[in-house]
Structures are given as C-alpha cells and as structure tokens.
A and B are shown apart, each in its own frame.
Chain A
Amino acid sequence: MSTSVTASPAKSAAPGLRTPRKKHTPGKPKRNVLLTVLMALMVLYTVVPLIWLIINSTKTQAGLADSNGLWFAHDFALWDNVRDTFTYHDGIFGRWLLNTLLYVGLGAGGATLLAVLGGYALAKFQFPGRRAVFAVVIGAVAVPGTALAVPTFLMFSKMGLTDTPSAVIIPSLVSPFGLYLMWVFAAEAIPTELLEAARMDGASEVRTFFQVALPLLAPGIVTVLLFTTVATWNNYFLPLIMLKDPDWYPLTLGLSAWSSQAQTIGGDVIFNLVITGSLLTILPLIAAFLFLQKHWQSGLAAGSVKE
C-alpha cells in the first residue's frame, strides 16, 4: 500500500521541534492511514446498503427468498418490478410520488423562503428582541421534530386540519436549522457596506434584497433547500400520525404500508415492490444532490477563509 510510505503524523509531531509544515496543495493531499481506513469503512457503511438495494430490486419475490442478499438471483425482474410498482393497487405509487413532490415543493420550498427572509432580517437589521429570537431559534434546533409530533397532532386535530395535505405542509414550513444557517450565512456573505451603498444609491429595501442580497445568498439558499428537501422527502413520522387517507400518503408512508402487508393475515407479500419502490424513491434525491453539488460545496466553504 502506498499510504504506508508517508511519514506518520506521530513522528512529525515531536514535542518542541516544530518541523516546517508541508505545503498541502489540492493536487497532493497529505496521506493518513487511519483516516484512509476510517474513510473506507464509512464508504462501505454507506455504499453497501445502496448496492444491496440496487441488486435486490432486480429480483422477484421468489428470488428474494432463495438467493444471497448481495448477489443477483437467477431472474432479472427489474423492469417488471418497476412496472408493477407503478401499476400495483391502481397505480397508487404514482399518486404517492406526486404527493411527495407536493409536500416537498410547498413544504421545503416554503421553509427555504421563510428561512432566507428571516435569516437575512436577523443578520442585517437591528431591532429589539433580536437576542430573544436568537435564543428561541437555537432552542428550537435542539428539539427533535418527533417530540413535537404528538402535540402538533392534537393541535391540528382541534383545528380540523388532520388528514389533509396542509397537516403535512404547514409543520414542514418551519425549519429552525435552516433559519439559523441562513442567518449565519447572510451575516458572512453580504457585506453591510454593500447594502449601505445600495441604500445610498436610493434603492428601496425590497429592491436591495432582491437585487443585491439574494444573488450573494444563492449558495446558502441551495444548501438550505437541500436540507429541507431531504428532511421533507424522508419525513415519515409526521405524515404517519397526521394522515389516514392513503390517497394523501407520501412515498415513505406508502412504502411502509406495502411492507407491512407482509405482516398481515391474507396480505399480499410484495417485498420486491417495496425494494424497487425504495430505489425509485431515492433516485430524485440523488439527482438533486448531483446537480446542486457545486453550489452546495461553495456554500459550505463560504466565510471559512479571510481574503
């Protein structure tokens, strides 16, 4: 292994003797056996389930039962599975996909919009109670959504909103973490001087926001959008307690309902469709990450280096 040739970090960090630090250029990163091993484990941990998912979505129910999980069965039924996934139960999977898109579009989209507006205001405007807002937001980041699910259910139930799409969309609109991220990002990414210059030139606050601030916030917006999209796309617990009508299920609930058919007397066992459906469910997320990757990375690095 070539990694073992490099000087180990323990040697180079001899006490008292500050060896001149090596220059690390992006083309020649420093090597570290421990980190490499940890990284390899990480890759295994994340990639093996994905490989499992891809391999097993090519099997029929019978193939699933009598073949090794990490290799193909004698039958290749991927296309049949995809077709069956979309046609089973009068094509309800398609409906669930549209529901998920609706919840993500309105929920995650709305959450991002609110986070951008709020984060910008908190970062760039002085007003009484700012510290209190800060405390509330930080506190809210610490509260897991699961803990709020039951109180939210009871509240929505009083308002007569349960079992409607708004019961899933409205709670998704609030993303304390997104707000916090936008706040920090806006504070770093928009020089106050720039805003002052815009104001001096006579631009209204609205125009300043849209034409000066918003373009600078783009990487942050993409980051928050990704986070809220993933959170809403994968949300299981909130829709589980809010929705009863399967016509309004998101994909997560629908797939779990299909999976639990196998645990039911007389139920149709369709693990093959559950697996194929799961694969289809993560494809849009993977696509989103690949397409938005560039913006996302520049967003994470912003403000880390003083020019």
Chain B
Amino acid sequence: MRRTTSRILRGIALVSTLALGVTACGGSDDDSDTKAVSAGDIQAALDKGGDITVWAWEPTLKTVAADFQKKYPKVKVNLVSERSGDKHYTALSNAISAGKGVPDVAQVEYFALGQYSLTKGLTDLAPYGADKLASKYTPGPWNAVSDGDKVYGLPMDSGPMALFYNKTVFDKYKIAVPTTWDEYLDAARKLHKADPKAYITSDLGDAGLTTSLLWQAGSRPYKVDGTKLGVNFDDAGAKKYETVWQQLISEKLLAPVNGWTDDWYKGLGDGTIATLATGAWMPANFATGVPNAKGQWRAAPMPAWTKGDKASAENGGSSLAVPTLAKNKELAYAFTEYANSGAGVATRISEGAFPATKAELESPAFQSKKFDYFDGQEANKIFADSAANVASDWSYLPFQPYANSIFNDTVGKAYVSGTKLADGLKAWQDASVKYGEEQGFTIQK
C-alpha cells in the first residue's frame, strides 16, 4: 500500500523520525512499565472511567467505540479519524517527539510498527495480558506485532493476498485465470495485444506490492535482530520476482498509473486495469471506490511462483498500539483488546473488515459469506486459505516507512528509464543500509 509521497511531507517525516530517535535515546530511563497489570487493575480502571483518545482511520471502529462506551458508560472514547497513511504517522511522530498530544491508542500498520517499537515509542502490552492472546491470531499478523516476548500492539486486520480479476474482460478475450506468475505474464501479453488500451495491472513502483511479492516468492531481504540489520535482495526468491516483473516492465505490459489515484479507480472500473494482486481487504474499497464495476470482478488465489506452490503473503493490515506516552494505559489496553480480540471483532467483520483472528477466519458463517460485488462468489474461502498459507518468518525494517519513501528514487527508476529492476533493488538495498548505519544500526553483510 503505497501512496505518492509529497517530498515536503517526506522531509517532515524525516525530521520527526530523527527527533523521535533523539527523544528515545534521551529518555529511555522509564522502563517501569514492565510490571504486570492484572485483569483486576484493568477492570478497576474501567469502573473508574475516564477519557481516551484513539487515532485510527479504520471506519468500523466508529461502531466499536460506541458499543464500548455503552458497555462501560464511564469511559469516553474520543475517536479521531480524519488522518491516514503518511499524515497519520507524521502527526504521531511529531506528537511523540514533542511529548504532547500523544493519543492513548493509535492505529499502526504492520510495516510501520518497527519504527515506533524500536525507539520505545510503544508500550509493551505483554504485561497487560496481550502475550496470552497469541494463539487467537493467524501467524502473519501476530509475527508482525510481537518481538520475542514483547507485544507492541494487537492485530486489527490482515491482508492475506489474493488475485482480483475482471471476469468480464477475461471472458471477452478468452483468457484463462492465471495460476502461476508465468501464466500471468502470458495473460498480460495476450490481453494487451487484444486491446492495446488494457493492461493486466497497474504498477509504477509500489514498495508495498514489491515487498509482498518478494515475501510470497520466498525472498527474505530483511534480517532484523535487535540493532543488528541485514538487507539483501540477492536471493533465489528475489530472482524469481525480478524475472517476471522485469518482463512485464520491459514489454510495457503494466498500466502507467499510480495506485490509489482517481485514474486508478477509473481503470479498475472501465476494464483497462484487469487484475489486482492485493490484500483481502480490497472488496470494501471496490464497493465504495468502483461501484460501477459491480458484478464484473472476482477473486482468485494468488498465482504461484512455482506450479503447485501454495505460499502466500500479506499486503497491508494494521494493529492498534498504545504509545509509551499514553496517559491512560489501562483503559487504552482495555479498548484495544475489546476492539481486536473481544466483542469488537464480530462488529468489525460484519461491517466488512477482514479479520486477523483464527476463529473468525475458520467460522462457516464467515467462509460462506456471499459477496454481492463479486456476483455472489464466496470469496472469503480463498482469502482464509491464503491467510493459512502466509509464511510467518518475514520481517520489515525498523525504518520501513523511510525505506518505502525512497523506493521510487531507487527501484522506481526501473519503471521509467532503462534501469534494470535488479539494479534498482540493489540501489534500494544500498540506500537502506546507508540510512541504517546513520541511525546507528550494525549492518551484517
């Protein structure tokens, strides 16, 4: 999930990140929150009541917050929901570095968690009982929120990947739904030949998509062990990805449209962008963003890198975390648990969110849900299957938001000039290593 990042915002984010690092170094003497907080303490806090501020853009949280307040009338949840993405993290980093105006609960996407947990910006929730919830979640999301015995947030949703394809377009040109990435490449050629205005998908360089595809291909570029780091895009998985994607780029088979723009939504609606390999949360965006294409789209399993391989990966997904500077941590944790592990989960799923919890993923009611948008297809079966096949040994960099922000200056060149994708990845690797060294990480070669 990448947006076009304004350079100014990037600068601000950088300044804030640096300031955040400084704050963390200067004020890391408050390790006092390692003592366990009993369920009784949390219940007492709920009975006593108070205000908590939640920064989250997830739309279903509105109902969850209302229900929570109904259950605990003395608690007031102030849900601040107008910011998302880059702006959300800029605001969060600014607040943390200023030490003021920090929310009690913040939505943090999995790829960004490391940035905050490493600088001690987030509360370890294990002493509050979060460590006992591990078995409730699918491995991908849980792996993303936990680090050893520390838990930096509770998974809110997940994004096991699937291939969404425009059935109308595929039927029109008699193209079979690809089951491997090689078939995908063939389908791309066939489609673009049949209709020069149509493309198999759009990609102008999207860090989130690239890392997810590498993840699926078995590549593990990032090795993170405390302050020791390794970045290496030179493994067998990365080779598989490079080979296919390089051909898609070189043969101009990708629509030159940036994701998440109005052009992109337009392309998804008018059949000029025929497939989308992305997270299982996409149906909700389809329904509101491309209402006119209702009935045309279907979901399918992700194409495999080797025929018969069932490996999948995550794309997107976010957690709720409690910043270290939160004022009311007991209430903050209580809300987080309610929303992401307790009664809130059912509410959120009924409003279209994609779960990260095993019980919901495996429940017959969830799996047999018919999607109107997909003309009645029971798409959750495909998504749940994908969730079960996500490898859990993937990790992002502790400064992934920064790394993603320089993706277009490095790998992105392969899309617009003659640079080879492999060289682009090498440049990204070098830039990430350089930044890591500047931040004081030990780089392992």
A residues within 8 Å of B by Cβ? 61-66, 89, 92, 146, 150, 153-154, 157, 160, 162-163, 237, 240-241, 244-246, 249, 254, 256-258, 260-271
Interface positions of B from 33 to 88, Cβ below 8 Å from A: 55, 57-60, 80-85, 87
Contacts A150-B15, A265-B1, A269-B265 given: A246-B81 contact, CB under 8 Å? yes
With a CB–CB cut-off of 8 A, which chain B residues contact A270?
288
The verdict on B336 contacting chain A, using a C-beta distance below 8 Å, is: no
Q: When the two chains form their complex, are residues B98 and A261 in contact, meaning their CB atoms are under 8 A apart?
A: no
- Tell me, in angstroms, the Cα distance from A244 to B90 when the chains sit together: 10
Q: When the two chains form their complex, are residues B101 and A264 in contact, meaning their CB atoms are under 8 A apart?
A: no
19 contacts between A and B (CB under 8 A): A64-B266, A65-B269, A65-B290, A146-B8, A153-B94, A157-B94, A162-B98, A162-B100, A241-B12, A244-B91, A257-B83, A260-B3, A265-B1, A265-B318, A266-B59, A266-B281, A267-B57, A269-B285, A269-B288
The verdict on B95 contacting chain A, using a C-beta distance below 8 Å, is: yes
B291 contact from A62, A241, A267, Cβ within 8 A: A62
Q: When the two chains form their complex, are residues B83 and A62 in contact, meaning their CB atoms are under 8 A apart?
A: no
Q: When the two chains form their complex, are residues B84 and A264 in contact, meaning their CB atoms are under 8 A apart?
A: yes
With a CB–CB cut-off of 8 A, which chain A residues contact B262?
64, 262, 271
List the A residue with the shortest CB-CB distance to B101. A163
Q: In the complex, given contacts A244-B55, A244-B80, A246-B83, what are 4 additional A-B residue pairs having Cβ atoms less than 8 angstroms apart? A: A65-B269, A264-B57, A266-B60, A266-B353
A23 to chain B, nearest CB (A): 51
B386 to chain A, nearest CB (A): 16
A266 contact from B58, B260, B268, Cβ within 8 A: B58
Q: When the two chains form their complex, are residues A157 and B353 in contact, meaning their CB atoms are under 8 A apart?
A: no
Contacts A162-B100, A244-B80 given: A266-B291 contact, CB under 8 Å? no
Q: When the two chains form their complex, are residues B288 and A61 in contact, meaning their CB atoms are under 8 A apart?
A: yes
The verdict on B194 contacting chain A, using a C-beta distance below 8 Å, is: no
A261 contact from B80, B84, B293, Cβ within 8 A: B84
* Interface 0/1 of B184-224, CB less than 8 Å to A: 00000000000000000000000000000000000000000
The verdict on B160 contacting chain A, using a C-beta distance below 8 Å, is: no
Q: When the two chains form their complex, are residues B289 and A61 in contact, meaning their CB atoms are under 8 A apart?
A: yes
List the A residue with the shortest CB-CB distance to B265. A65
A200 to chain B, nearest CB (A): 55
- Tell me, in angstroms, the Cα distance from A162 to B285 when the chains sit together: 34
Q: When the two chains form their complex, are residues B82 and A249 in contact, meaning their CB atoms are under 8 A apart?
A: yes
With a CB–CB cut-off of 8 A, which chain A residues contact B141?
none
Q: Give the bracket for the number of chain B residues in contact with chain A.
A: 35 or more
With a CB–CB cut-off of 8 A, which chain A residues contact B95?
244
Instruction: Please name the 3 residue pairs, one residue from A and one from B, whose CB atoms are nearest each other, closest first.
Output: A269-B289, A246-B82, A65-B269
- Tell me, in angstroms, the Cα distance from A138 to B15 when the chains sit together: 29
B residues within 8 Å of A by Cβ? 1, 3, 8, 12, 15, 55, 57-60, 80-85, 87, 90-91, 94-95, 98, 100-101, 157, 159, 260, 262, 265-266, 268-270, 279, 281, 284-285, 288-293, 316-318, 352-353
Q: When the two chains form their complex, are residues A268 and B288 in contact, meaning their CB atoms are under 8 A apart?
A: yes
B100 contact from A146, A157, A249, A254, Cβ within 8 A: A157
List the A residue with the shortest CB-CB distance to B262. A271
Q: When the two chains form their complex, are residues B316 and A265 in contact, meaning their CB atoms are under 8 A apart?
A: yes
- Tell me, in angstroms, the Cα distance from A34 to B269 when the chains sit together: 43
Q: When the two chains form their complex, are residues A260 and B84 in contact, meaning their CB atoms are under 8 A apart?
A: yes
Q: When the two chains form their complex, are residues B316 and A262 in contact, meaning their CB atoms are under 8 A apart?
A: no
Q: When the two chains form their complex, are residues B101 and A266 in contact, meaning their CB atoms are under 8 A apart?
A: no
With a CB–CB cut-off of 8 A, which chain B residues contact A162?
98, 100-101
Q: When the two chains form their complex, are residues B82 and A66 in contact, meaning their CB atoms are under 8 A apart?
A: no
Q: When the two chains form their complex, are residues B84 and A267 in contact, meaning their CB atoms are under 8 A apart?
A: yes
With a CB–CB cut-off of 8 A, which chain B residues contact A163?
101
- Tell me, in angstroms, the Cα distance from A261 to B60 when the chains sit together: 14
Contacts A241-B94, A257-B83 given: A262-B269 contact, CB under 8 Å? no
- Tell me, in angstroms, the Cα distance from A256 to B270 when the chains sit together: 25
Q: When the two chains form their complex, are residues A150 and B84 in contact, meaning their CB atoms are under 8 A apart?
A: no
Contacts A162-B101, A265-B318 given: A62-B292 contact, CB under 8 Å? yes
Q: When the two chains form their complex, are residues B291 and A263 in contact, meaning their CB atoms are under 8 A apart?
A: no
Max chain A Cβ within 10 angstroms of own Cβ: one of B279, B281, B317: B281
Q: When the two chains form their complex, are residues A157 and B98 in contact, meaning their CB atoms are under 8 A apart?
A: yes
List the B residue with the shortest CB-CB distance to A261. B84
B265 contact from A63, A157, A271, Cβ within 8 A: A271
- Tell me, in angstroms, the Cα distance from A62 to B157 when the chains sit together: 27
A265 contact from B80, B83, B87, B159, Cβ within 8 A: B159
Q: When the two chains form their complex, are residues B12 and A150 in contact, meaning their CB atoms are under 8 A apart?
A: yes
With a CB–CB cut-off of 8 A, which chain A residues contact B81?
246
B101 to chain A, nearest CB (A): 5
Q: When the two chains form their complex, are residues B82 and A257 in contact, meaning their CB atoms are under 8 A apart?
A: yes
With a CB–CB cut-off of 8 A, which chain A residues contact B55?
244
A166 to chain B, nearest CB (A): 14
Q: When the two chains form their complex, are residues B101 and A244 in contact, meaning their CB atoms are under 8 A apart?
A: yes
With a CB–CB cut-off of 8 A, which chain A residues contact B91?
244
Q: When the two chains form their complex, are residues A265 and B285 in contact, meaning their CB atoms are under 8 A apart?
A: yes
A173 to chain B, nearest CB (A): 22
With a CB–CB cut-off of 8 A, which chain A residues contact B281?
265-266
- Tell me, in angstroms, the Cα distance from A257 to B85 when the chains sit together: 10
- Tell me, in angstroms, the Cα distance from A12 to B431 when the chains sit together: 61
With a CB–CB cut-off of 8 A, which chain A residues contact B265?
65, 262, 269, 271
With a CB–CB cut-off of 8 A, which chain B residues contact A244?
55, 80, 83, 91, 95, 101
- Tell me, in angstroms, the Cα distance from A89 to B82 when the chains sit together: 10
List the A residue with the shortest CB-CB distance to B82. A246
- Tell me, in angstroms, the Cα distance from A89 to B1 when the chains sit together: 25
- Tell me, in angstroms, the Cα distance from A267 to B286 when the chains sit together: 10
B43 to chain A, nearest CB (A): 30
B61 to chain A, nearest CB (A): 10
Q: When the two chains form their complex, are residues A263 and B84 in contact, meaning their CB atoms are under 8 A apart?
A: yes
Q: When the two chains form their complex, are residues B260 and A263 in contact, meaning their CB atoms are under 8 A apart?
A: yes
With a CB–CB cut-off of 8 A, which chain A residues contact B288?
61, 267-270
Q: When the two chains form their complex, are residues A65 and B3 in contact, meaning their CB atoms are under 8 A apart?
A: no
- Tell me, in angstroms, the Cα distance from A89 to B57 when the chains sit together: 12
With a CB–CB cut-off of 8 A, which chain A residues contact B3?
260, 263
Q: When the two chains form their complex, are residues B292 and A65 in contact, meaning their CB atoms are under 8 A apart?
A: yes
Q: When the two chains form their complex, are residues A245 and B80 in contact, meaning their CB atoms are under 8 A apart?
A: yes
With a CB–CB cut-off of 8 A, which chain A residues contact B290?
65
- Tell me, in angstroms, the Cα distance from A266 to B268 when the chains sit together: 16
B85 contact from A153, A254, A260, Cβ within 8 A: A260
Q: When the two chains form their complex, are residues A266 and B284 in contact, meaning their CB atoms are under 8 A apart?
A: yes
Contacts A260-B85, A263-B85 given: A66-B292 contact, CB under 8 Å? yes
